[in-house]
Structure 1
């Protein structure tokens, strides 16, 4: 669960760093678990931009609980081209798209 939240946090961090809305798929993610997190704990994730090229972005992050760091992560994410509509947030998981895919499978 913590890995998934951190993966999402790093991806959202990239959108903030590059100031573009969109989805950046995870290419690789390395996670170190540092301490336990308990049910009910307030957990915060922080992303730190490391490096970017035209096609990739590297980000480091830490997840902090009430007693200190819980997890640290390093991730590399795909930087989609501007004209690649597969990664636009406004086209992801829309109800119309889901219905169209289901209809195509049934025919």
Structure 2
């Protein structure tokens, strides 16, 4: 594969990660992600996230929607309760691919 093809793949990788990068670029959403990681697989309700982050319920709901729309967080409904959790196969995993491709290109250009 030539460099032009590799750069086009990298551009595509960046494009597919734009929404995720925007979502996790906010410090409040980073805090919510950290809290959700700590909750394990069972997930958390908005009230639980609110108490751990000291954010208002509307703020938590707003940021959860952005994380959900970006494919990072999902929701499990049990009766009338919603449990938010990190999606294990989330688009966050696309960041690994992006970073790997960047590293390969940097390493290959360093050899030239």
- Same-fold call, TM > 0.5? no
Larger % of strand: which? 1
Larger % of helix: which? 2
